[in-house]
Structure 1
Amino acid sequence: MRLVKLIANLGYGSRKEVSQALRHGWITDREGNKLKADAKTPHEDILFDDEPLDPAPGMVLLLNKPVGYTCSIKDTGRLVYDLLPDRFRVRKPVLSTIGRLDKETSGALLFTDDGTFLHQVISPKSEVPKIYEAVLDRPLKGDEATLFASGEMLLEGETKPLKPAELEVLDEKRVRLTLHEGRYHQVRRMFAAAGNHVNELSRTHVGALGLEGVAEGEWRLLDEAAKARIFD
């Protein structure tokens, strides 16, 4: 791929704007040499205005989503993309969330521009576990763990039972729940069906990948080892 197209696809500007940046000498290698449009310089050695380029296509990142942000690129109000560099909104291929968290749910949210990886994570065949912690409105009744693990629980308006889920009681109103599928508002609907209400909800892990070292509202790029933990 020509250098102009590569940098434009990363969101630094139109091809015309990137060509102008090349002519001005704003795009260099790590030794400070001005690059030309036909340069074969490795991605990791290219600087734009003395800063390394954003990650190459195929990236996966983990965001610690705060409450109050919507998983959309077009809705009004605060969007998860507001927490990322502005250029990430216009990357090609498109940077998409891997699944969603509703506006009032916080925690681990993955993004990628790799469609194959996205479908690998969300495929029902993968059964990637997602771990949530919830604060409930009322104390547990005591039968929730058995109900959720039964494999026979039906949500309102659905005809297919939920896959078994594991409930760990942290105290009378706090729980940890592991799901192996991702239905719409699933955790909230499960507790509603059990006669309770979720006041606070956070996703702490996708697979074995947690939020260690990622503060609320911050993100980090995942290396191959971190990506592998999603499928552990």
Structure 2
Amino acid sequence: MAKLPTARIDKLLSSMGYGSRREMAALAKAGGIKLDGQALADVSDRIALNPDLPQRMRVAGKALDPLQGLVLMLNKPLGMTCSHKEEGALVYEVLPERWRRRDPMISTIGRLDKQTSGLLLMTDDGALLHRVISPKMHVTKSYLATLDRDLRGDEGAMFASGEMMLEGETKPLEPAVLEVISERQARLTVTEGRYHQVRRMFAAVGNHVTALHRESMGRLHLPEGLDPGQTKLLDADEIALIFA
């Protein structure tokens, strides 16, 4: 059995945004850090990073936050930007303030533009992030698009051809699947993540997307009841659905 990694208590909590190492030492001295109900007085001690540590450890009377490797699903509202620095409403503002101080920081897995809503994943696991967005993984992404004009009828064949070119690019798009829902609404499933890809694909066939909502990635779907602006912490089985 592989040996579990360990970390100094003060370094662990500091990296999770709880405060400086000095602040963690003061908190421990006051009895504010406990493991299995027992106060941890010396924050220089090392602790095994067991998966159940968040259930066993309490900091200032509350359960420990998820350890590094967390994956969150956000139902992204309209008007929010996938950025740490731009002006206006940012997707990271939905996170607890402490989570915004984590190191490694939590980042979005890919991006949705300001006027696109729906399923957005966030993680502090860099390896997972790059695996999901890697073109080699062919992770499918499905979008519900509302259009300005009626569909012509030939869009599905064009999108599926593997020969469609976007303006300003030299490489054709990978085949995509179009499901017509109504004259002005369709579900488009793509395996790439090019800049404004869905909007540009419809623009290339003479249409304009008036509303865009991402419904799924792989077999991971945005669940009913997760309102815009709300997040959900994913477990291992749910993360695996991204690649299914």
2:229 maps to 217
Counterpart CA distance in 1 for 2:204 and 2:169 is: 12
Separation in 2, partners of 1:74, 1:187: 25
CA distance in 1, matches of 2:24, 2:226: 32
How many pairs align?
231
Give the superposition deviation at 1:29.
2.5
1: CA distance between counterparts of 2:84 and 2:182? 37
Does 2:24 align with 1:18?
yes
Partner of residue 131, structure 1 = 142
Unpaired segments of 5 or more residues in structure 1? none
Residue 226 (structure 1) aligns with: 238
Q: Deviations over 1:132-174 (max 9, x none)?
A: 0011011111111111111111111000000000000000001
Of residues 153, 158, 166, the one that matches 2:169 is: 158
Alpha-carbon separation, structure 2, partners of 1:119 and 1:79: 22
Work out whether residues 150 and 164 of structure 1, in 8 Å CA contact, stay in contact via their aligned partners in 2: yes
Q: Structure 1, residues 176-211: CA drift from partner, whole Å, max 9, x if none?
A: 000011000000111111111100001000110011
Q: Please identify, of 82-91 and 36-45, the stretch whose mean Cα deviation from structure 2 is larger.
A: 36-45
1:102 lines up with 2:108 in the alignment: no
Among 7, 11, 21, the alignment partner of 1:5 is 11
Question: SS where residue 125 of structure 1 aligns?
Answer: helix
Determine helix, strand or coil for the equivalent of 1:191.
helix
Question: Is it true that 1:49 corresponds to 2:60 in the alignment?
Answer: yes
2:157 corresponding residue in structure 1: 146
1:40, 1:170 → 2: CA distance?
A: 54
Q: TM-score, normalised by structure 1?
A: 0.96
User: Which residue, 36, 40, 47 being the options, matches 1:35?
Assistant: 40
Alpha-carbon contact 1:73-1:89 (below 8 Å) kept: no
- Asked if 2 retains the 8 angstrom alpha-carbon contact of 1:68 and 1:104, the reply is yes
SS of 1:54's partner is: coil
- Which segments of structure 1 move beyond 3 Å, counting only runs of 4 or more? 39-42
- How far off is 1:30 after superposition? 4.2
Counterpart AA for 2:47: K
Amino acid at match of 2:95: L
CA contact (8 A) 1:66 1:106 kept: yes
Deviation at 1:214, TM superposition (A): 2.1
Partner of 1:113: 124
Partner SS, residue 21 of structure 1: helix
1:201 paired with 2:217, answer no
Deviations 1:31-51 (A, max 9, x none): 2x2212126375221111211
Matched residue of 1:225: which SS? Answer: helix
C-alpha deviation, 1:96, in angstroms = 1.0
Q: In structure 2, list runs of 5 or more residues that go unmatched.
A: 1-6
Alignment-mate amino acid for residue 50 of structure 1: G
CA–CA separation in structure 1 for the residues paired with 2:11 and 2:209: 47
State the superposition RMSD in angstroms: 1.2
